[in-house]
Amino acid sequence: MLAAPLRIFLQAIASLRESSRRLYSHASLAAQLKTTLPTSVIVLGRAWVYGTGAVRFGEGALLYPDLHLETRGSATIALGDGSPSPE
């Protein structure tokens, strides 16, 4: 009879852990950018930005773990709203 409450507790802990990981990943990416990272961007894991940090994300973008982006000089990277397509 302890199995059901324990399973519920473990599911809640797993959900909290995933939310914390996403929040940390979002904050870490935002700190590397010259532009504001929209709160609607979902960052599923660590992302690295190298070079000038001139990267702009649209609303609702979904970023997978181990993303590496780099800009040099006057170059920029821009991802549009809802999908990773250039603006």
Which pLDDT band holds residue 5 (cuts at 50, 70, 90)? confident
Phi first, then psi: what are they for 20, rounded to 5°?
A: -65, -40
Per residue in 8-59, pLDDT tens?
Answer: 888 888 889 999 999 999 999 999 999 999 999 999 999 999 999 999 999 9
- Is residue 85's pLDDT more than 50? no
The overall longest dimension of the chain from CA atoms, in Å, is 63
Q: Dihedral of CA 54/60/61/64: which sign?
A: positive
d(CA 33, CA 20): 20
Flag whether the pTM goes above 0.85.
no
- Cβ pair 22, 42 in contact under 8 A: yes
